[in-house]
Structure 1
Amino acid sequence: MALDEFLADRGRATTTFLQHAMETYLPAATAERRRTHDAELLADSLAGHDHHHEIPIFVCNLAFPTLPCPLHVFEPRYRLMVRRCMESGTREFGMCLPNETSTGGFVDIGVMLEIRDLRYFPDGRCVVDTIGSRRFRCLEKGQRDGYATARVEFLTDQTVPPEGMQELQTLHDSVHAQVERWWTEHFRGQLEKRDRVIQFYGPMPAVETSYWTLPSGPSWLWWALAILPLRRSVQLDILSIASLKRRLRVIGSVLNRLAQPPANPA
C-alpha cells in the first residue's frame, strides 16, 4: 500500500509479536500508555463541548462562517493536530489570525473549521477541505505538542424580538441589494478577478429561510465580508459582532463609502 493511501485510510495494523512482548515484559508501562491514549482520545472528542475542554487552534488566517477554507498542511505540529481531529471523530478545529501582541501569539476571535475532505501526499503533507462553522472567543490559551489550544465560548447572534423583525428584514433586504450592486459594478470588466473569487468562495449564497434564527445569520453577509476590500482588523471586528442588525449596518456603511466617487484633488 502506498504511504498516501495508508495515511488516508487511518487504519493501524497491530504487530502481534511486539504487542505480546510489551504486554508480557512491560505490562505496567503498556497499560499506563493505553490509559493515557484513551484519556487523550476522550479529551479530544470533547473538544469545544464546554468551557473546560480545549479546542486545537490553527494559527494561520481569518476564516468565516459557512465559507470554504482549503488548507495545505505541511508543518508536523499541524499534521499531528489534524490526525487527532480525525481519530477523535470531531473533524473540526479552530482557526485564528496570528498576532504577536496578543496572548499566545494569536487573536481572541476565531471560527471553527469542519473537515469535509482530506487528501494526503506520500511525504505526509495533506490538503484539507474545510468549511467555517461556529464563531468563538478565546477565554484561556494554551499549547499542546507544539500547536496552540484554547478554552472558548461560542458566539451566537442575539435573538430578534418580534417588534424588531420588520425593521431587521427591511435593513437586510436593503443591504443585500447593495451587495449585489457592488458585486456587479466592482467586477464589471474584471471577469478573471471575479472568477477567482467564485472559484475560492463560490457564488453569492442565496438568502436562507428564517435567516434571523441562524447562530451567525445569513451566509451571504459573510461572503460579502470576505470579498470586500477591508483591512483584516476591520473584518475581525465585524466577525465578533453578535448582532445581525449591527453587522448589516456596518456592511451597509462600508458599501455607502465605497459607492462615493473619489474626491477631486485640490
Structure 2
Amino acid sequence: MALDEFLADRGRATTTFLQHAMETYLPAATAERRRTHDAELLADSLAGHDHHHEIPIFVCNLAFPTLPCPLHVFEPRYRLMVRRCMESGTREFGMCLPNETSTGGFVDIGVMLEIRDLRYFPDGRCVVDTIGSRRFRCLEKGQRDGYATARVEFLTDQTVPPEGMQELQTLHDSVHAQVERWWTEHFRGQPEKRDRVIQFYGPMPAVETSYWTLPSGPSWLWWALAILPLRRSVQLDILSIASLKRRLRVIGSVLNRLAQPPANPA
C-alpha cells in the first residue's frame, strides 16, 4: 500500500516489538498511560449522557435538528476532536455559532451532530457527513486540548395536553401549507437557487406520524427555518424555543410578513 493511501485509510496496527519493549523496560509508565487512555475514552463515551460529562463543541455554524451538516475539517484541534468521537464510539459532537461577546466565544444554544460517514485525506484533513439531532443549552463552558467543551442540558418540546391537540394540528397544517406556497412562489424562475437548496438540505421532509411527540417536532419546520431569509440571531432564538405551538406561530408570522408586498416609497 502506498503511504498516502495508508494515511487516508487511518488503519493502525500495534508494533509488537515496541509494545513488548515498553512493557518490559517501562512497565509503570506504560500502565499509567494505558489507564489514562482508558479513562479518556470512558469520559468521551459518557459525553452528553448527563450534566457532569462535557461534550466537545465545534464552533463554526448553526445546525438544525434532522438536517444534514457536511463539514470539511482541517484544523488540528478539530481533527483531534473528531478522532476522539470516533474512538469513543459516541460518533457525535455539538455545533455552536461563534460569538465573541458570549462566554467561551460561542453562543449558548447548539445542536448535536451525529457522524454518518467520515473520509480522511492523506494530509490529515477529513470530510465529515453529519446530521443534526438533539438541541442543547450550555450550562458551563470549558476547553480541552484546544477545542471547546461544555456541560449541557438537552432541550425537548413541551408535552401537548389532549385539550390542545386540535388547535395544534390546525395550526400545524396551516403553517405547513404556508411554507409550501412560499417555497413554490419564492423560487419560481430561480431553478438554480432551488436546486442548491435541495442539494444541501434535501427536499422538504414529509410530515411524520405523531410529529407532536417528537423531542424537536416535525422535520419540515427545521427545514423551513434553515432556508427562510432570516438573520442568524432570529434562527437561533427559534431554535431555543421548547414549544412546538410557539415555533409554528413564529414561522407563520414570518411567512405572513414575507407575503406582504413591499411598501411603495413616498
Q: Same fold per TM (> 0.5)?
A: yes
Q: 1:235 to 1:147 in 2, by over 3 A?
A: same
Cα deviation per residue 1:191-225 (whole Å; 9 max; x = unaligned)? Answer: 00000000000000000000000000000000000
Unaligned ranges ≥5, structure 1: none
Q: 1:142 to 1:254 in 2, by over 3 A?
A: same
Contact 2:63 2:95 in 1 (8 A): yes
Deviation at 1:12, TM superposition (A): 2.2
Residues in 2 aligned to 1:38 and 1:206: alpha-carbon distance in whole angstroms = 43
Q: 1:121 to 1:261 in 2, by over 3 A?
A: same
Residues in 1 aligned to 2:64 and 2:175: alpha-carbon distance in whole angstroms = 19
Contact 1:4 1:124 in 2 (8 A): no
Cα deviation per residue 1:154-192 (whole Å; 9 max; x = unaligned)? Answer: 000000000000000000000000000000000000000
Cα deviation per residue 1:20-50 (whole Å; 9 max; x = unaligned)? Answer: 1111111111100000000000000111000
Q: 1:156 to 1:5 in 2, by over 3 A?
A: farther
Residues in 1 aligned to 2:3 and 2:176: alpha-carbon distance in whole angstroms = 48
Contact 2:8 2:121 in 1 (8 A): no
Contact 2:66 2:219 in 1 (8 A): yes
Q: 1:59 to 1:65 in 2, by over 3 A?
A: same
Deviation at 1:233, TM superposition (A): 0.1
Tell me whether 156-165 or 17-26 shows the greater mean CA deviation.
17-26
Structure 2 equivalent of residue 122 of structure 1: 122
Cα deviation per residue 1:53-77 (whole Å; 9 max; x = unaligned)? Answer: 1000000000000000000000000
Q: 1:4 to 1:93 in 2, by over 3 A?
A: farther
Deviation at 1:11, TM superposition (A): 3.5
Query: SS state of the match for residue 112, structure 2?
Result: strand
Contact 1:109 1:135 in 2 (8 A): yes
Deviation at 1:18, TM superposition (A): 1.1
Contact 1:4 1:120 in 2 (8 A): no
Percentage of pairs with the same residue: 100
Q: 1:6 to 1:45 in 2, by over 3 A?
A: farther
Q: 1:115 to 1:8 in 2, by over 3 A?
A: farther
Q: 1:4 to 1:171 in 2, by over 3 A?
A: farther
Query: SS state of the match for residue 215, structure 2?
Result: coil
Q: 1:256 to 1:39 in 2, by over 3 A?
A: same
Residues in 1 aligned to 2:87 and 2:48: alpha-carbon distance in whole angstroms = 16
Q: 1:158 to 1:145 in 2, by over 3 A?
A: same
Length, aligned pairs only: 266
Deviation at 1:9, TM superposition (A): 4.8
Query: SS state of the match for residue 95, structure 1?
Result: strand
Residues in 1 aligned to 2:46 and 2:235: alpha-carbon distance in whole angstroms = 30
Contact 2:8 2:124 in 1 (8 A): no
Contact 2:139 2:151 in 1 (8 A): yes
Deviation at 1:4, TM superposition (A): 6.0
Structure 2 equivalent of residue 68 of structure 1: 68
Q: TM-score, normalised by structure 2?
A: 0.98
Residues in 2 aligned to 1:233 and 1:4: alpha-carbon distance in whole angstroms = 42
Query: SS state of the match for residue 177, structure 2?
Result: helix
Tell me whether 149-158 or 1-10 shows the greater mean CA deviation.
1-10
- What is the RMSD computed on CA atoms of the aligned residues? 1.0
Unaligned ranges ≥5, structure 2: none
Residues in 2 aligned to 1:87 and 1:229: alpha-carbon distance in whole angstroms = 39
Whether 1:78 aligns to 2:78 is yes
Q: 1:101 to 1:134 in 2, by over 3 A?
A: same
Tell me whether 67-76 or 16-25 shows the greater mean CA deviation.
16-25
